[in-house]
Structure formats: C-alpha cells, structure tokens
Structure 1
Amino acid sequence: MNIMEAVRMALQNIWASKTRTFLTMLGIIIGISAVITIVGMGNGMRIYTENSFAELGTNTLNVNIKGRGTSRSISEAEMYQLVEENPTLLSKVSPVASLSGTVKIGTEKSTTTSVTGVSEEYFSMKGYDIAQGRGLQYMDVSTRRHVCVVGNYVAQTYYNGDAVGKTIKVGQNKLTIVGVMAQESKKMEKGGTDDSIYLPCSTAARLSNVGNYSSYLMTVTAVDNAAASKKAVENALYHVFDDEDAYTVISMAEMMDMMNSMTDVMITILAVIAGISLVVGGIGIMNIMLVSVTERTREIGIRKALGAKERYIMEQFVIEAAVTSALGGAVGIVFGYIFSAIGSVLIVALTGEEMSVVPSLSSIVLAAGVSAAIGIIFGYLPAKKAARLNPIDALRYD
C-alpha cells in the first residue's frame, strides 16, 4: 500500500465520522489559531514599538547633566568638541532647554504647550519638516533672537493656519513666529508633539537665567553604533565629573531593543501556554485512534490474514492520525487569520492606537509542522497496538 492510498483511506475514515473527528481536532485548532494570533500580536507590538521610537529618533542619544556641585561642569563648547573628536560615532549635537511659563496667544492661554530651546540643527536631527516660513537659523541662536517655530496644532488652533509673522507670549516674553512645523503626529491633539514651541536655545537660556545647559540631544552616525557612541559619551563625561551619578546617557536604539526583548519574552511565554492545548489535542487524537483500533479490530485481522505486513498496518494508522492532525492545523491557520483580523479591529477600537495583529509566515509554517508532528507522535502508540494484533484473535473479535 502506497502513501497516497493510505491518505485516501484516512480521508474516507475521517469523513465517515465527521463530528467525532472535528471534536478530536478541536484542541489542535484552538492551539494553532491561538499561537498564530499571539505571535501576530507580538509582531504587531514590535512594529508599533519601532514606529514609536522612530518618531523619537532611534539614532539619538539623550544626555542629561546633573553635575557635581559647582566645581565641575561641562560647557556647550566642550559638548560640540566631543562630537568633533568622535566623527565615526557622533554626527550632531543640540542643547535642549525647557522653558516654563504659560503660553499666551492674544486673550487665550495654554498650559499644555511645551516650550523648548534648541539649536538650528535640532529639526534635522529629529526629522521635523517646516510647512510654512523657515526654521531656526544659526544667527537666531548666536544673537539670541526672540523668534520661534510653532507646531501645527498651535498654528491651526490659535491662528487658523496663518501664524508666520504673528507674535506669541511665553510668560512675559514676546516671540515672533518665523515658521510652522509640518504635522508630525497622525492625530493632532492638545499636549502632543504638534502642540509645541521651539525657540533658540540661547534665548531660552537667557530667559530662564540658565548658565550651562543640562540637556543635550546627540545623533549617532549609524544605529548599529548606538552602544559604542553611548559608551564614548559616558567615558568623556566621567573624565569630567569622575562620578557616574553626575550624568545620564539614554540611547533610543537600546531602549527599543530592550522593549522588543521584553515583548519577545512575553509573547513566547503566552505562545507556550497556548501551545499546551496542542498537547491536549494530541492526547485527543491518540484517544480517538485507540478507539478506532478497537472498532476496526476485525478489519485489521482480515488484512493480516490476507498477508498485510505489520508495517503496512502501522503506516495506515500513523498516516490517519497525521492527516487528522494536519487538517486540524489547516483549520487552525484559517481561524488564526480570522482572529488576527478581529484582534486588529478591536485593538484600534479599544485603544485608539494604530496597531495591527500581523501573523508571520514562520509561525504558520511552524504551526503546520507541529500539527503534523503531533499526529505522528500521538498516533504511534495506537498504530503500534494495531500492528501487533494477533490475526486469529482479531478475526474472533465481535
């Protein structure tokens, strides 16, 4: 008996008891669909995390100088020199100075609008585009001009899209708007990226009476160099302060890798838990095959009496178990895609975040392989029992 004939007979036996076979496959179906959906959620979370960090800049380092008393400090010039001394690792640097104070536009006030002092390089470092007017320039920074670039939310909400040339007040200080940022967030909202004001860092430092800047944004030459770049900055700062607590250097790329690692661990644990149902499904297949052997004892006896070898009997039952499991796996894959599509809709509806459940080809291939393997493994014992039946006893079985 060849393989194709064994498969045909297996399908005939499965079709003859459809309800029982479906209930047998149910554990496999649930396990496979759950694993595919969970792995798809992991892929979706990874994509969402990478997109979120891409907005922050995976090629950036955030440096915060806490200092060590008044005797030791690092100047803006020294930070620029640090970049120049490491051209293979670092490319740009910008001081970052947050400015507190209520934002006033005419008679309206905003307490959610962020006000930040930056250099002329900041927008290119963050990948921000200018939709109207111009960005900050070197002369704005060097001469401490009272100018600013506002986010699209500010321009649309308070100026009806016509903000360039108008003035805005931060605390008691008036700033002239010279540019409007292009919309950065998919949905503009109060307190978001687009609800912002950027002015020259030198102006912000003067208005807030700050000496040396405490925060800097740096860009690395390549994301792959993020760890080495972070180490170079930390070494330079340690040389100045001789104290690791005097500064912090945060790599966006390392944070993204850490988040992805945590996601992978969580998804792996959930997938393993979901995979337990595959074992339950395998036990169900073994149980139903043992019942099948009992029901077909006379058939087995007749075949053995007519000269069928043990390995042919064993092959038939193993293939039948594998086909049952494989069919369950195929149905599970279909349900996995259906559940993934439903999950994507529910995530958007419940959280408002654009995150999708993305099944991967590797998880599908693995699911199909595991389902077939389970059929073979759990079908082996019933097949062995069938193959070892004594033909005389089998013919006597009623």
Structure 2
Amino acid sequence: MALMQAIKMSLKSIIDNKLRSFLTMLGIVIGVMSVIGLVSLGQGATEGVTSQIKSMGSNLIMVSIMGRGMDTSLSYNQAMSIGDSPYIKEISPIMSANAYAKYGDQSYEESINGVNENYMSLRNLKLAEGRFILSIDNDMRQKVAVIGSNVASDLFGFTDPLGKTIQLDGNNFTVVGVLASGGSSISNSYDDSIFIPIKTMFVFQRNRGITQIYLSATEEQYVNIAQYHVENMLNTIFKGDTNAYRILNQSDLLSTVNSVSNTLSMMLGGIAGIALIVGGIGIMNIMLVSVTERTREIGIRKALGAKKKDILLQFMIESLTISGVGGIVGVIFGFIASYLMGHFMNMTVSPSINTIIISFSFSLLIGLFFGMYPANKAAGLKPIEALRYE
C-alpha cells in the first residue's frame, strides 16, 4: 500500500472520530504546553537573577565574616586594611539592622544600612535627587540619610524629602539623597532601604563589629589576584581558620545560579513530562479501542491482500498524527502560557528554540512508542478470526 494512501486512510479515521481524537490529543497538548511553559519560566527566572548579578559589576568581591572563637567580627580599621592592595579599587564595610523610620504621622519599619562613600559605585546605585554618603559624613559621624524610592513614597508622599528630618528609632537624621526606583538586588530591595554613614551606625547601634564587606578589583582580570590578597589578609587575622570567613565573586555566584537553575529546569521539565507520558497512555488506550472496533475492517483488508506492514503503517500514522498535531497545538498554547506568566509575574519569559524542539520531538516519540503496541496488535490479527469477530 502506498504511503499517501495510508496517510489518507489514517486522517479519515481521525476525522470520523473527531471528539475521541480531540480528547486523545488533549493529553499531549497539556504535556507539551506544560513543558514549554514551566521550563521557560525557570529560564526566565534564571535570566532575571543573572542580570541582577551582572549589574553588580564583573569585578565585585563579597566577604562574609563568621568569626573564630570570641572574635566574631572585624573592626572598621581591620576591614578597611583588607583593601590595601594595588589590585583593589574600592572597599566598603557594611552594617545592617532594622529600625522604625518616622516622619510626621507616618512610621514604617525599614532596613538601615551603614556604609561608606564607596558603596554607591560598588553596587551601581543611581540617585533620583540629592547626593550619597560622603567621606566627611563618616569622619564627622553626621546624622544624614539616603533613602530608597519606596521609603520616600511611604514617608513623604508627594512632598520633596530633601532636607527633611526623619527619625530612626527616635534619632533625628537629615535626608540628603533619594535613590532612583528599581535599584533591586538578589538579597534585598534598595527601594525599601535607608543608608547612613557607617561610623554613625556604630553609635546608632552601639556596635562596631563588621561582618560584611564589599570590594571591587581594579580590573576584571585581577579579580582572582584581589581575592587571593583578601584571603591572605583574613588568614592572618583569623590565624589560618578558613571557616571564619567566606569569599564570593561574581563568577562564583553565576556558577551557583546556573547550577541551581539547570536543576530547577530539569525538575520542572520532568514534572511536565509526566503529563506527556499520561497523554501517551491515553493514545495507546484509544488506539486499542480503535483496533477492537475495526477488527472486521482489518480482516476484510487482509482478505483482499493487505499485508501486515500495511496495517502496521496505517495505525502508526494515526498515532503519530494525533501526537504530532497535539504537539503543534501544545507549542502554540505553550507560547501563550509563557507570555501570560511573564506578564503577570513581571518577568521576561521567552521559550527557547531548544525547548520547543525537544518538547515537540518528545511528543512524537510518545506517539511512536505508545502507538507501537496497538499497531502491532492490529497487524497481527488473523484474517479468518477478524472476519468472524462481532
């Protein structure tokens, strides 16, 4: 039997049973749509986090201090001495705490960060108005504050915050700058943060211990050299105890994010793949029913000279057509689902070509695999027994 004739007969059988064919395809459609949608969501989240890490600057180094014995932190001078290297461009120790910020009748709990004048360039912060913390602010322990855009909106509404006095846990601070909106990071949102001079923070918190430091290498190619210098300095301070600190650079963060995202994408793809397998089981069940219903037809065709391979080909084409059309519709709905998820979750979600090809190819393989048994069963029917079937 010619291939085109087998295709025509398969399509006729599918069209004659529209509802059954549609319900059979539905499992494949949902499976392909789920694979594309969930994997695209995982990739979109990864791209968002990756872009945030890259926005920090390719030469950023982050140091966390856990301490050794009774020494659980560094002094300000110790922290600053770590930056004494020709390969280190800028350094800023950080102290963070929560405090109630108040202006007039408005009061909110906000994140307060003690930093120096280098922090703005280290974290690529942008100002909407005013200025950032200056060196003289730290030296004179000035009570000045730079506030995030959300803090400005919460406390001041439409009033210009510059020059106004806010209270942080009852202490008066003058607002000298407002950050531009959208200054978010992986760890927190600068829109909801307040920055004050770190030496003022010592007095404000009655604590001088530094547990977090940001540094930048002079050039991207010197990051490893700068990190080696920081490790040597900390080994000297903590007498060789490498568990007393942790050092990360952008490459480390990107490697970790990529590892986690790949695992997440595989997990999401695997979960969605289950729906494809369920759809394949549906195809096999319906094809078995179709074989039973068309037993006499198969017997007549065999009696008229149809070979085993002709019957096998017809049923395999039916199975592949159902899974193929279901895969195409699933790809279309996967695009729509990805767009909707990206829109409502405020993310860039765009299905990759590889995801589409893999999911569609898998749908065809599902049709081929689960259609094989019913097709082989139909092809193996004996003409006499098939003709006598009621």
Once residues 177 and 391 of structure 1 are traced to their aligned partners in structure 2, the CA distance between those partners, rounded to angstroms, is 92
Shift of 1:274: 3.8
Once residues 282 and 104 of structure 1 are traced to their aligned partners in structure 2, the CA distance between those partners, rounded to angstroms, is 61
**From 130, 133, 150, the counterpart of 2:130:** 133
Cα 1:393–1:46 change in 2 (3 A) is same
Shift of 1:14: 0.5
Amino acid at match of 1:119: N
1:365 aligned to 2:378?
no
Stretch deviating more after TM superposition (364-373 or 165-174): 165-174
Residue matched to 2:90: 92
Stretch deviating more after TM superposition (317-326 or 243-252): 243-252
The percent of aligned pairs where both chains have the same amino acid is 39
Residue matched to 2:46: 46
3-state SS of paired residue (1:183): coil
3-state SS of paired residue (1:128): coil
3-state SS of paired residue (1:96): strand
Asked if the contact 2:126/2:183 (under 8 Å) is kept, the reply is no
Q: RMSD in angstroms over aligned alpha carbons?
A: 4.2
Cα 1:226–1:34 change in 2 (3 A) is farther
Amino acid at match of 1:202: K
**From 161, 164, 177, the counterpart of 1:163:** 161
Once residues 107 and 310 of structure 2 are traced to their aligned partners in structure 1, the CA distance between those partners, rounded to angstroms, is 82
3-state SS of paired residue (1:131): strand
* Count of aligned pairs between the two proteins: 385
Asked if the contact 1:72/1:241 (under 8 Å) is kept, the reply is no
Shift of 1:321: 1.5
Cα 1:366–1:79 change in 2 (3 A) is same
**From 387, 394, 397, the counterpart of 2:379:** 387
Shift of 1:22: 2.3
Once residues 284 and 385 of structure 1 are traced to their aligned partners in structure 2, the CA distance between those partners, rounded to angstroms, is 17
Q: Deviations over 1:86-110 (max 9, x none)?
A: 72xx5431122347766554x5574
Amino acid at match of 1:199: I
In structure 2, runs of 5+ residues without a counterpart are none
Asked if the contact 1:223/1:253 (under 8 Å) is kept, the reply is no
Once residues 20 and 71 of structure 1 are traced to their aligned partners in structure 2, the CA distance between those partners, rounded to angstroms, is 73
Once residues 72 and 261 of structure 1 are traced to their aligned partners in structure 2, the CA distance between those partners, rounded to angstroms, is 31
Residue matched to 1:290: 288
Residue matched to 1:236: 233
1:182 aligned to 2:174?
no
Amino acid at match of 1:369: S
1:35 aligned to 2:29?
no
| TM-score of the pair, normalised by structure 1 | 0.75
Amino acid at match of 1:322: L
Residue matched to 1:375: 367
Shift of 1:64: 3.7
Amino acid at match of 2:94: V
Cα 1:21–1:136 change in 2 (3 A) is same
Once residues 71 and 244 of structure 1 are traced to their aligned partners in structure 2, the CA distance between those partners, rounded to angstroms, is 14
Amino acid at match of 1:178: V
3-state SS of paired residue (1:93): strand
1:216 aligned to 2:216?
no
Amino acid at match of 1:375: G
The 5-angstrom pairing of residues 255-270 of structure 1 reads 258=256, 261-262=259-260, 264-270=262-268
Once residues 301 and 385 of structure 1 are traced to their aligned partners in structure 2, the CA distance between those partners, rounded to angstroms, is 13
Asked if the contact 1:62/1:216 (under 8 Å) is kept, the reply is yes
Once residues 283 and 308 of structure 1 are traced to their aligned partners in structure 2, the CA distance between those partners, rounded to angstroms, is 28
Once residues 209 and 312 of structure 2 are traced to their aligned partners in structure 1, the CA distance between those partners, rounded to angstroms, is 81
Residue matched to 2:6: 6
Cα 1:221–1:365 change in 2 (3 A) is farther
Once residues 309 and 141 of structure 1 are traced to their aligned partners in structure 2, the CA distance between those partners, rounded to angstroms, is 91
| TM-score of the pair, normalised by structure 2 | 0.77
Once residues 232 and 265 of structure 1 are traced to their aligned partners in structure 2, the CA distance between those partners, rounded to angstroms, is 34
Residue matched to 2:26: 26
3-state SS of paired residue (2:375): helix
Once residues 258 and 30 of structure 2 are traced to their aligned partners in structure 1, the CA distance between those partners, rounded to angstroms, is 27
Cα 1:379–1:246 change in 2 (3 A) is closer
Shift of 1:127: 1.5
Amino acid at match of 1:65: I
Asked if the contact 1:148/1:177 (under 8 Å) is kept, the reply is yes
Shift of 1:122: 0.6
Once residues 367 and 99 of structure 1 are traced to their aligned partners in structure 2, the CA distance between those partners, rounded to angstroms, is 48
Once residues 15 and 151 of structure 2 are traced to their aligned partners in structure 1, the CA distance between those partners, rounded to angstroms, is 67
